[in-house]
A and B are shown apart, each in its own frame.
Chain A
């Protein structure tokens, strides 16, 4: 099953030449670099926006550094063979996000600004909670294969989490027209972010179980290997669930995200491209019907096709985002030099356009590449890990990040219709940040298993036939 090419398997080079390098030192150095970048960004923001540095920067720096130090020590202790690039990528993204949110906080009192509040400290707090989840996952889940046993429980939890906002009254669950939230006592939680991870775990366990049936039984129609009708069940269920999310929660993004992840995991499990085509057809059909039936979908698509025609209405956000990106140009206006606060919800949905405006094309592409590194390291873990469940799970998690980043950044830059998804690690929002810390914890756990050298075979007791004959005397 595992057929690594030359150089793709870290164990290949290590095979027979001593212990596998753990590369924890690399991780620590890169984390230090991430903290350095974040601190530089914080200082630049404070100096350009307020003209002075306060002790708050030092407090923030100490806290932020401690956060990653704890994470690093945890990995050293509980997952010593984990991929050393995962955490540093996340650290830079979280740090940049915090700096940009801090910058938008300061802009709050300016003329014509759309942002307000003191959100950066809250976000730092959420990052700390996220670290808590990270710790819990690493400590409790010592072997990722254990998760497969709870697949159906997790499926149930995922579906319930997904369904809660839909059944709650709109006053508790609706924000900007999408019913995605649970808002209680000043806190708002987007349960969909956690549901996503639960469902990926379930998909992985279910598909590993059923992959042979799904892959082998088929009919050939017009040169295409098509699965049997009754095997279409799971994909139809996933499709129906995502349509239900679309209808009852009015959330294009989550719907697209879940269905995309499922179809790709199905493809990876069965190695059959026909699933991709079936998925695409189902999605197109659903999208077409949704476009015909739902006003909010139609508005999203129309403003996507020609945002400037709706510049004062539905297209306002995307037009402002494009203005920010265009004005930023190659090098950007510099942190604190632009007006990213003119884009509505710049801290959450449009944080990428704020980065594009102030750090320029180079900054935004750097962020995209950070995500790419994170995702490709996840997929690489999937290539290397030995068990099928681990493979599917890490592939699903990594692809989830990739797909979400693509849909969000595509929306913010006008490549795709705008959806309500958050930018992982970067955007303001507790649920998203905490859930994604959990996601990374799982990737760290699986990558540890992938790179951990197989235990040397236990000395087998000598076979009876080889044993020296003992003469038993009566």
Chain B
């Protein structure tokens, strides 16, 4: 019986080797992915044992950790939680983390490589490790005004510094209180989370995409001016009614008014009163390639990016026929953009045709407040020449001075802008994009009101005015 016994002994060895190999695969090869799996709450629990870094706006900590008596050593607190919730996100022992709490988790938890000197020091001095701070680009006053102005509406405000891409305000309503999701009472956390509806925890500014309506006409104008065949005073056809090529469908202007009794008008006038027929025809005349290329240059390339919050990709969408191209040229059909993307259009025009990559994190600080990393502004693309940008600025200034954007006017300062009223299954969405001062732009904004039902000029332009005023009023920039 000894021969088979030896074979059994060897088989046992093989079986145990299998076990050991498998355990090696789990604990070494797959260790990192298992450790970082969002369902794995262990690391979160471990992080609660350390002092998590703060999220800072204008030198004030809008999210910080304070010591507690319970088993999770530190409690996350949010000053003005609902105002900054679209940016900070929450830090929950049950639901994980979102927003900056998630995107900059390595820094806040103190595990980021940029903090290695500090970590090394902690190791030798036996000091409890603590996280680094994240200084945001937000302007507190502007953010506050933006959230207040959106109160009661579902919508978003994005404000950018055109010359750098700094995000000055990132507002989304309805909002929520992150402190209630970050408490240490599981039952209370669950109850609060279940009381929230999806809109409250969705960031309308960066996660959702909507048809832009007439604000897309800025891109079509940019394509026309850049082609060399058009100038702001070029007269284009602007009929009361446009029959789309190869269809029986007709396209009307807003309120079914004629754009001009003569049936034609200058490009500037067409933008000023937001003439649908003129821009549909202009888009068809330019052709899909030129319109799409310009849109992609402005960022509508269907590819999201991180700033470091993830931004959904905006796109022109599929265009099958000339008729669809006509409708797409007035920002309908399959064109969808995020409010952040809308602000980027205004910012690119404001910055002499150079689109700066939007960013939210100004700098990363070690726990002792020394700056360990500073974000440098970076150009994303250059959709139009400075000359064309200048011409567009003139046309958009006319929109606010004489046209649909009058309610964005600020006394004593020139404002450039464009309104949008986008059709969808529900009541119209209301848009406004713009920047000011027109001569030396300090702030570019996009205002979006979901299913507001009015026009962009009525609903969104006044919000944009308040936000821009708030920023300029404190000598911002």
Query: Given the complex, which residues of A lie within 8 Å of B32, measured CB to CB?
Result: 326
Asked whether B93 lies within 8 Å of A311 as measured between CB atoms, the reply is: no
Asked whether A324 lies within 8 Å of B4 as measured between CB atoms, the reply is: no
User: From DSSP, what is the main secondary structure of chain B's interface residues?
Assistant: helix
Q: How far is the CA of A309 from the CA of B66 in the complex (A)?
A: 37
Q: Which residue of A lies closest to B29 (CB)?
A: A326
Asked whether B39 lies within 8 Å of A319 as measured between CB atoms, the reply is: yes
Q: How far is the CA of A470 from the CA of B267 in the complex (A)?
A: 149
Min CB–CB distance B187 → chain A (angstroms): 11
Interface residues of B in 325-354 (CB under 8 A from A): none
User: From DSSP, what is the main secondary structure of chain A's interface residues?
Assistant: helix
Interface-lining segment among A64-72, A137-145, A410-418, A453-461: A410-418
**A406/B8 contact (C-beta < 8 A), A112-B45, A328-B27 known:** no
Q: How far is the CA of A414 from the CA of B2 in the complex (A)?
A: 33
Asked whether B42 lies within 8 Å of A356 as measured between CB atoms, the reply is: no
Q: How far is the CA of A360 from the CA of B71 in the complex (A)?
A: 24
Query: Given the complex, which residues of B lie within 8 Å of A444, measured CB to CB?
Result: none
Query: Given the complex, which residues of A lie within 8 Å of B30, measured CB to CB?
Result: 322, 326
User: Is A286 part of the binding interface, using a Cβ–Cβ cutoff of 8 Å?
Assistant: no
B→A interface (CB under 8 Å): 1-6, 8-9, 12-13, 15-16, 18-20, 22-24, 26-28, 30-35, 37, 39-43, 45, 70-72, 93, 184, 186
- Extra contacts besides A271-B3, A413-B19 (13): CB < 8 Å: A327-B34, A328-B27, A339-B42, A342-B42, A365-B20, A372-B12, A379-B8, A379-B9, A380-B9, A383-B6, A391-B1, A392-B1, A399-B8
Query: Given the complex, which residues of A lie within 8 Å of B1, measured CB to CB?
Result: 1, 268-269, 271, 388, 391-392, 395
Of the residues A112, A269, A322, A325, contact of B186 by C-beta under 8 Å: A112
Min CB–CB distance A418 → chain B (angstroms): 14
Asked whether A395 lies within 8 Å of B31 as measured between CB atoms, the reply is: no
Q: Pick the 4 closest A-B CB pairs, nearest first.
A: A326-B34, A361-B27, A323-B40, A402-B12
Residue-wise, chain A 185-218 has the 8 Å CB interface mask toward B (1 for contact) of 0000000000000000000000000000000000
**A3/B43 contact (C-beta < 8 A), A111-B93, A326-B34, A329-B28 known:** no
Q: How far is the CA of A119 from the CA of B180 in the complex (A)?
A: 36
Chain A contributes a number of interface residues (CB within 8 A of B) equal to 55
Query: Given the complex, which residues of B lie within 8 Å of A4, measured CB to CB?
Result: 2
A→B interface (CB under 8 Å): 1-4, 110-112, 264, 267-269, 271, 311, 319, 322-330, 338-339, 342, 356, 360-361, 364-365, 368-369, 371-372, 375-376, 379-380, 382-383, 388, 391-392, 395, 399, 402-403, 405-406, 409-410, 413-415
Asked whether B12 lies within 8 Å of A111 as measured between CB atoms, the reply is: no
Asked whether B24 lies within 8 Å of A264 as measured between CB atoms, the reply is: no
Query: Given the complex, which residues of B lie within 8 Å of A376, measured CB to CB?
Result: 9, 12-13
Min CB–CB distance A347 → chain B (angstroms): 18
Most chain A beta carbons < 10 A, residue from B26, B28, B70: B26
Most chain B beta carbons < 10 A, residue from A327, A361, A383, A409: A327
Min CB–CB distance A354 → chain B (angstroms): 12
13 chain-A/chain-B pairs, Cβ below 8 angstroms: A110-B71, A111-B70, A268-B1, A268-B4, A271-B4, A322-B30, A323-B39, A325-B23, A326-B26, A379-B5, A383-B2, A405-B19, A415-B18
